[in-house]
Structure 1
Amino acid sequence: MQHQLIDTPDFGMLQITFDQPNEKIVSESGAMVAMDTAIKMETSMRGGLLAAAKRKLMGGESLFQNTFTSTAPGQRLFLAPGPEGDLRAMNLAAGQSFFLQSGAYVAHVGEELNLDTKFGGVKGFFGGVGAFMLKVTGPGTVYYCSYGALHEVDCPPEGYTIDNDHLVGFTEGLQFNVRSFGGTRGLFFSGEGLVCDFSGQGKIYLQTRNAGALAAFLQPFRPVETNN
């Protein structure tokens, strides 16, 4: 199949053109914008109901997904994420991993690609777009999005600090530590909340906006009902 990222970086959309029958792409629930009618779609819960229940008990999150299967060459499928912003693709070799905020996942191609929705190594990430991180391991291609523009940073030798709400993902080779910004007082009064300190060699992907900041900005404009 062929892919094209269109309308980026502001309102990214993924266009898939299938080359032959029985090609498959898996997406998050609700990502489909349009498709040729003859394309088959199946909805499932990754890992099944029992695995989802275990994730819930462990503080994780079940992941519903749609699988689209072509029935003829030339069929097209359009997918788009929920937030306004950029859309990217990352090709992963066999055994190569990419760590991604759960809310940034859009779709993936590759039957051998593993999407670990209960990865325990980054339990300190919470709040913001996703309650936890996904560990995506190749071979395959993963499509991911950002809220606002997507900014790529090579971690400098002295390390790098990022607000958790602006973190989209990071590559292998990086170590991290999650902490409150400015101690307990900073956590509640600085407006920054939790941050992550990165060190090592690798790339970090940031988004220029976050939903929490938008909600705080809009709060004063909400109509307030008064009791007469």
Structure 2
Amino acid sequence: MRDEIRGNPEFGVLHVTFEHAGEQIVAESGAMVARDAAIDMKTSLQGGLASALKRRMTAGESLFQNTFTATAPMQSMRLAPAPEGSIERLVLRSGMEVFLQSGAYLASTPGITLDTKWQGAKGFFAGGLSLLRAYGEGLIWFSSYGGIHAIDVGRQHEGYLCDNTHLLAFTEGLRYQVRKLSGLKGLFLSGEGLVCEFQGHGRLWLQTRNPGALSAFLHPFRPVGGGH
């Protein structure tokens, strides 16, 4: 299988070319843009009903995923995320794990397992109860709203703070806590909300935009009914 990411950073599209019949890619429901007509598609509850419901209820992922299988060499397809933004490719090897924020998962090869990781009480303050956990051997592609920036914590930086709404993904070598930037005054007056403070050794990915900020910006301009 060959893959190429086109259109980053604004309008990322994943272009996949299958080199052999029988090669597969698993994608989030609704991610397909186009494909060769002869590519087989099957929709299923990945991991069974219990696992799919858990991902849906705690991490906000869709219940169903689509598995695309090549029926002949050199067939191709295109996948894209719902929001405007970038796509990142990551090679996972045995023993590696990556944690994704809700909605970041786009696609993976069949050797990747998706699960959820309970965040505990800090999940309530971070805006989500669970993170999506990916492990196994193969490729995984995840996407952002806006551009993606990678930070190597423990090498470039001893510790790192990021706004919780801009957190996209991180590797298993990192630990974090959610806190206010500088007390209640900072929370309400600085324009910055809650932040995630990362320590340890690993890679952190940030997204440059967040849907909540866009919604707040657009809210004053929305049409208001006149009672007619």
Is the shorter-chain TM-score for this pair beyond 0.5, marking a shared fold?
Answer: yes
> Segments of 4+ in structure 1 off by > 6 A?
127-130
For residue 17 of structure 2, what is the amino acid of its counterpart?
T
Please name the residue that 1:46 is paired with. Answer: 46
Following TM superposition, by how much is the alpha carbon of 1:142 offset from its aligned partner in structure 2, in angstroms?
0.4
2:146 maps to which of 140, 145, 148: 148
For residue 73 of structure 1, what is the amino acid of its counterpart?
P
What RMSD, in angstroms, separates the aligned Cα atoms of the two structures? 2.4
Please name the residue that 2:176 is paired with. Answer: 176
Judged with a 3 Å threshold, the aligned counterparts in structure 2 of structure 1 residues 122 and 86 are, in CA distance, closer, same or farther, namely farther
Q: For residues 129 and 85 of structure 1, what CA distance do their matches in structure 2 show? A: 21
Please name the residue that 1:3 is paired with. Answer: 3
Matches within 5 A, 1:7-26: 7-26=7-26
**Alignment check: 8 A CA contact 1:95 1:137 kept:** yes
Superimposed CA distance per residue, residues 91-118 of structure 1 (whole angstroms, 9 cap, x where no aligned partner): 0111111111131110001x332211x2
Judged with a 3 Å threshold, the aligned counterparts in structure 2 of structure 1 residues 94 and 158 are, in CA distance, closer, same or farther, namely closer
Matches within 5 A, 1:1-228: 1-53=1-53, 59-61=58-60, 63-109=63-109, 111-116=110-115, 118-121=116-119, 124-125=122-123, 132-155=130-153, 157-184=157-184, 186-187=186-187, 190-227=190-227
Question: Unaligned 5+ residue runs, structure 1?
Answer: none
Following TM superposition, by how much is the alpha carbon of 1:68 offset from its aligned partner in structure 2, in angstroms?
0.3
Q: For residues 56 and 77 of structure 2, what CA distance do their matches in structure 1 show? A: 32
Judged with a 3 Å threshold, the aligned counterparts in structure 2 of structure 1 residues 73 and 150 are, in CA distance, closer, same or farther, namely same
Question: Which has the larger displacement, 4-13 or 130-139?
Answer: 130-139
For residue 72 of structure 2, what is the amino acid of its counterpart?
A
When the two structures are superposed, what TM-score results if normalisation uses the length of structure 2? 0.88
When the two structures are superposed, what TM-score results if normalisation uses the length of structure 1? 0.88
SS in 2 for 1:226: coil
Question: Unaligned 5+ residue runs, structure 2?
Answer: none
Superimposed CA distance per residue, residues 178-210 of structure 1 (whole angstroms, 9 cap, x where no aligned partner): 123444565556543321110111111101110
Question: Which has the larger displacement, 216-225 or 43-52?
Answer: 43-52
Identity, % of aligned pairs?
Answer: 50
Aligned length: 225
For residue 40 of structure 2, what is the amino acid of its counterpart?
K
